[in-house]
C-alpha cells in the first residue's frame, strides 16, 4: 500500500444535511452523505481527485456511457464499531475487482491511491454518516464510466471515477422466494458476467420482473447453454447445504466473484464445515430436497450478507425449505462475519480496514 499521501482538494459543504437522517428509520438508497469523490481520466492520465459536495453532474447528451454502457461499479459497506471506529470490510478486494471489471470493459486501470486514499479521506469527512445503530451501515458506491461526448462505438478516451455513499438500515431478512430461470440468460461463456458492468444489470431487469409478477422475489440464473447448472441468485452468489456439506457453484467467467461469497466460504471452512466449490446442477438440488437432504439455501452479497431462501420454484413446483432457525451453517457463519465486520471478534484474515479519524 502506498504511504505517501495523495493531495485531494476538498470543497466542504456549507452546511451538513446530517440532521435529515433518522438513524432508526433509514430509507434505503435515497439519502446521500454530504460529499463525493471525483477523479477524471483525460489525456491518457488520471487527474488529481477532488472531494466535492454531493450533487448533480453535468454531462453531454452524447456521453458514451449512457449509450453503450461502458460503465462499471462496486458496492461495499463501512460499519461503526462499539468504540466509534469506522471499519471498512475488505475494501482492497473491491478495488481489485473494480480493475478486473475495468479491463473487461476497456476502461483504464484506476491507481490504488485514488481508490484507497480517496475512500479514506471521503469517509473521514463524512464519518457522521456511518450510522451507529445495530445492523446499519454506510453503503459505499464507487463507479467509473466513459465520458467522451462522441456517439461512435469505440472505447472512450475520457472517464470519470466517483465514490458516493448512503446510510442503510438493518437488512430485513424476509423469507426469499426464488425461481429457477430456464429461459433468460444473465451471462454466457465469453461474456462479461464476471464483471460488475452496468449493462449486466439492465439486461436482468426484464426476466426478474417476469418472475416478480409470478410472486417470486428473485430468480436463480442457470448456465446459458443447457440451463442445467446453477449460477447465481439475482445479484447475489448462491449456496446450499446438502447433507451437511456447504455447496456452491465455482466461480467462472459467467459468475461474479463475490467478496461475501469468499468470506462465507473461508469462515465456514475455518469453523470446521465441509465446503465444496464445483458445478451444482438444478437436478442435484431438487433431488436433495426430495430426499430431505436440502437443509439450507441462501444468497450472499454485500447488501444482505446472507439472505435466507425459503422457497425455490422449479418446473411448476414450489420447493419449501426448512425453517431459518435450524440453519446452523449459515446462521453461525453470518453471526461470526457480522462480529468481524463490526469489530466484535478478532480478525485473523485482516479483512477489516480501520479509517483513521
Q: Which residues bind ligand PLP (CB under 6 A)?
A: 75, 196, 232, 235-237, 256, 258-261, 300-302
Pull the grid cell for residue 175: 423469507
Cα distance between residue 58 and residue 144, in whole Å: 15
Nearer Cβ to ligand PLP (125/179): 179
Cβ closest to ligand PLP, residue 189 vs residue 318: 189
Three-class secondary structure of residue 291 per DSSP = coil
Compute the 3-state secondary structure of the chain and give helix, strand, coil in percent, each to the nearest 5.
25, 30, 45
Phi then psi for residue 332, to 5 deg, are -75, -35
Q: Which triple of cell numbers denotes residue 96?
A: 481489485
Q: How far is the CB of 263 from ligand PLP (least distance, A)?
A: 8
CB of 172 to ligand PLP, least distance (A): 18
Cell 449509450 locates to 67
Q: Among residues 177 and 196, whose Cβ is nearest to ligand PLP?
A: 196
Nearest approach, Cβ of residue 259 and ligand PLP (Å): 3
Residue 338 CB, nearest approach to ligand PLP (Å)? 14
* Closest CB to ligand PLP among residues 65, 238: 238
CA distance 258 to 74: 11
Give CA–CA dist 37/289, Å, rounded: 48
Q: Output the smallest distance, CB 245 to ligand PLP, in A.
A: 21
The smaller minimum CB distance to ligand PLP, of residues 259 and 288, is found at: 259
Q: In the 3-class helix/strand/coil scheme, how is 238-280 assigned residue by residue?
A: EEEEECCEEEEECCCCCCCCCHHHHHHHHHHHHCCCEEEEECC
Strands (E) across the chain are located at: 9-10, 35-42, 45-46, 50-53, 71-73, 76-80, 86-89, 137-146, 159-168, 176-180, 218-222, 230-233, 236-242, 245-249, 274-278, 294-301, 305-314, 317-320, 352-355
Q: Which is nearer to ligand PLP, 40 or 338 (CB)?
A: 338
Q: φ and ψ at 276, to 5 degrees?
A: -130, 125
Distance in Å, CB of 24 to ligand PLP, minimum = 25
Tell the smallest beta-carbon distance from residue 222 to ligand PLP (Å): 14
Tell me whether residue 295 or residue 302 sits nearer to ligand PLP (CB atom).
302
Amino acid at each position: 500500500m502506498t504511504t505517501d499521501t495523495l493531495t485531494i482538494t476538498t470543497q466542504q459543504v456549507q452546511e451538513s444535511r446530517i440532521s435529515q437522517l433518522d438513524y432508526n428509520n433509514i430509507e434505503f438508497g435515497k439519502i446521500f452523505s454530504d460529499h463525493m469523490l471525483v477523479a477524471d481520466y483525460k489525456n491518457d492520465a488520471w487527474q488529481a481527485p477532488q472531494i466535492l459536495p454531493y450533487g448533480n453532474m453535468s454531462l453531454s447528451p452524447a456521453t458514451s456511457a449512457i449509450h453503450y454502457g461502458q460503465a462499471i461499479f462496486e458496492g461495499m459497506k463501512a460499519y461503526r464499531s462499539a468504540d466509534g471506529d469506522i471499519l471498512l470490510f475488505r475494501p482492497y478486494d473491491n478495488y481489485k475487482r473494480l480493475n478486473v471489471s475495468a479491463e473487461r470493459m476497456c476502461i483504464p486501470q484506476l491507481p490504488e491511491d485514488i481508490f484507497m486514499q480517496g475512500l479514506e479521506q471521503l469517509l473521514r469527512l463524512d464519518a457522521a454518516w456511518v450510522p451507529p445503530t445495530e445492523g446499519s451501515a454506510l453503503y459505499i458506491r464507487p463507479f467509473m464510466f466513459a465520458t467522451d461526448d462522441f456517439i461512435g462505438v469505440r472505447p472512450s478516451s475520457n472517464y470519470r471515477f466517483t465514490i458516493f455513499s448512503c446510510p442503510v438500515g438493518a437488512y430485513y431478512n424476509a423469507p426469499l422466494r426464488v425461481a429457477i430461470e430456464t429461459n433468460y440468460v444473465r451471462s454466457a461463456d465469453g461474456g462479461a458476467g464476471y464483471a460488475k458492468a452496468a449493462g449486466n444489470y439492465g439486461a436482468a431487469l426484464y426476466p426478474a420482473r417476469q418472475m416478480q409478477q409470478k410472486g417470486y422475489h428473485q430468480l436463480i440464473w442457470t448456465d446459458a447453454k443447457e440451463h442445467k447448472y446453477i449460477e447465481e441468485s439475482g445479484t447475489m452468489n448462491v449456496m446450499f447445504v446438502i447433507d451437511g456439506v456447504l455447496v456452491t457453484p465455482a466461480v467462472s467467467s459467467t459468475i461474479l466473484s463475490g467478496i461475501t461469497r469468499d468470506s462465507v466460504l473461508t469462515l465456514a471452512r475455518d469453523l470446521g464445515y465441509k465446503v465444496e466449490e464445483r458445478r451444482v446442477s438444478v437436478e442435484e438440488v431438487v433431488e436433495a430436497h426430495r430426499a430431505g437432504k436440502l437443509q439450507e439455501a441462501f444468497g450472499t452479497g454485500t447488501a444482505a450478507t446472507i439472505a435466507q431462501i425459503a422457497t425455490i420454484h422449479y418446473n411448476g413446483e414450489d420447493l419449501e425449505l426448512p425453517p431459518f432457525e435450524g440453519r446452523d451453517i449459515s446462521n453461525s457463519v453470518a453471526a461470526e462475519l457480522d462480529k468481524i465486520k463490526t469489530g466484535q471478534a478478532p480478525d485473523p484474515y485482516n479483512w477489516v480496514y480501520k479509517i483513521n479519524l
